[in-house]
Chains A and B, each alone.
Chain A
Amino acid sequence: MFDDFFIRALIAGLGIALVTGPLGCFVVWRRLSYFGDTLAHSALLGVTLAYSFELNIALSVFIISSLIALILIQLQKKTNLPGDALLGLLAHSSLAVGLVVIGFLTFIRFDIMGLLFGDILAVTTDDLLIIWTGGALILLVLKLIWKPLFASTVNYELAEAEGLNPDRAKAIFTILMAAVIAISIKMVGLLLITGMLIIPAAMARNLSDSPQKMVLFSIIGGLLSVLLGLFSSLEFNTSSGPSIIMAALALFILSLLNIKQSIKLKN
């Protein structure tokens, strides 16, 4: 009925949505959307290095993104610059370095559009393995650090005082962010990954009154976005990333109607 590549893309996309759902909630709660962007921008450098040294793309992106996150933490300690300035500095300089390196790699034909916006044709069986095992691992670790991470998101000092070690949870979460970007870059593209994290979570916020519900709705929203996005991508021959994000946006707009209704009900 469908071509193999499309089945692969579906399986990959659904796997990614399962992971970006809960992680995206934390991105929204902890106000990390620009941080996610920075890691995604640095992913381009990771991809170019993967091509240069014939490494696995996900692994290379994961290493570079983690490295950028570490540099960010160090810069935050050592300088007096505000966080968003540091993020901008790292995002754009790593993007620039990545683009310059691409310029040197004349012997490789790059699909820049695919890299920026995702390409469902590019998903291989190996990628599926990486997405699903990597994704399962990410979710498992997130479950393990859920308590300290969530507690410190609500209030850092409470978590620290009551012995939950929030600094460790935060460091691990940073690595999880790098990992989720690494596994989803081929599908969603590096310009739109943050959207995949934030938009379903934002939609879920409009519908939920407890953290668990928000995570659940965020996952459902992500899965629906992937389904709607990929089918329309196939139908209209559009890039996979933008199609998925547009589907997520449509769901978000629908969730706004829910807010209006509940306000009407209250009045």
Chain B
Amino acid sequence: MSLENSTLVKLNNAGFKQNNKWLVEGVSLTVEKGKIVTLIGPNGSGKSTTAKIALGIYKNIEGSVEKYTNKVGYVPQKISIDWTLPLRVHDFMLLTENIRDEAIDEALNLTGVIHLKNKNLGNLSGGEFQRVLIARAISKKPELLVLDEPVQGVDYTGEIALYELIKRISDTLNCGILLISHDLHTVMTATYHVVCLNGHVCCSGTPMDVAKNNEYKTLFGEQASQILSVYEHKHDHVHSDKGEIKKN
């Protein structure tokens, strides 16, 4: 298989503007089959926006998105379910695709919430709901998984188990994953490619490259960069406190 064919989604200098304010701009990245690309960055740095650009949720974007698959699983960062909808976990699993019952059970088993299958979605705790969201996204055996803070609200042991599951899924399904995560340790160990955002791409590369980057250090502090060895390098711009770029 050629390199071209393994590309699932490609952003070319993509950006999105809302109310005349750039949420994110100039992002280029590629997600390939079997690879995990992670977006990191402080709050408001445009991680979720970048994910939504990649998914085609935002339409009027700058730059371009090339999407080579329609089999997409998405775990959004925020989702509110309305009480006016009588919706059980089982109904929710079938939301965007008709999936065999065995596949539903398998996915709910993997994320440890099979016992909630007939419960009303409104009665779940935050962590339980998060596990259901992940189960729904993986049950349809997607080619591209977009996970926006997938383990928020999940207990500590569950968090580790779910990240292991995500890594395993990327291997077994050979699907590409675009992951947004705050857990730098996971990012550094499980990820193939890291993109560090702060309104634009600050730095990107292998986890090792990024950890060495000075800007990464500024954004996440000394401790974070000590996860891997520190390497000083020159960069061509600094940030104002609003995240705007000032050229040196």
Among the listed B52, B57, B79, B86, which residue makes an inter-chain contact with A208, where contact means beta carbons less than 8 Å apart? Answer: B86
- B86→A205 contact, CB < 8 A: yes
Q: Fill in one digit per residue for B58-86: 1 if any A CB lies within 8 Å of its CB, else 0.
A: 00000000000010111010010110111
B82 surroundings in chain A (CB, below 8 A): 29, 154
- B95→A209 contact, CB < 8 A: no
A153 surroundings in chain B (CB, below 8 A): 85
A151 surroundings in chain B (CB, below 8 A): 95-96
B91 in the interface (beta carbon within 8 A): yes
Q: How many chain B residues touch A (Cβ–Cβ < 8 Å)? A: 26
- A160→B96 contact, CB < 8 A: no
Task: Please judge, given known A-B contacts A161-B55, A162-B97, A163-B70, whether A155 and B79 are in contact too, CB under 8 Å.
Answer: yes
Q: Taking CB as reference atom, which chain A residue is nearest B133?
A: A158
Dominant SS among interface residues on chain B: loop
A150 in the interface (beta carbon within 8 A): yes
A91 in the interface (beta carbon within 8 A): no
Dominant SS among interface residues on chain A: helix
A164 in the interface (beta carbon within 8 A): yes
- B56→A161 contact, CB < 8 A: yes
A87 in the interface (beta carbon within 8 A): no
- B85→A154 contact, CB < 8 A: yes
A213 surroundings in chain B (CB, below 8 A): 86
Identify the B interface with A (CB < 8 A).
52, 55-57, 70, 72-74, 76, 79, 81-82, 84-88, 90-92, 95-97, 120, 140, 146
Top-4 shortest CB links A-B: A161-B55, A161-B74, A162-B96, A163-B70
User: Could you list some 25 contacts between A and B, CB below 8 A?
Assistant: A29-B85, A154-B85, A155-B76, A155-B81, A157-B76, A158-B74, A158-B76, A158-B96, A159-B95, A160-B56, A161-B52, A161-B56, A161-B57, A161-B72, A161-B146, A162-B72, A162-B74, A162-B96, A162-B97, A164-B96, A209-B120, A210-B88, A211-B85, A211-B86, A211-B91
Identify the A interface with B (CB < 8 A).
28-29, 31, 147, 150-151, 153-155, 157-164, 205, 208-214
- Knowing that A147-B96, A161-B55, A210-B90 touch, tell me 18 more A-B residue pairs with CB under 8 angstroms: A29-B85, A154-B81, A154-B92, A154-B95, A157-B52, A157-B55, A157-B76, A158-B76, A158-B79, A158-B95, A162-B72, A162-B74, A163-B70, A163-B72, A210-B86, A210-B87, A211-B85, A211-B91
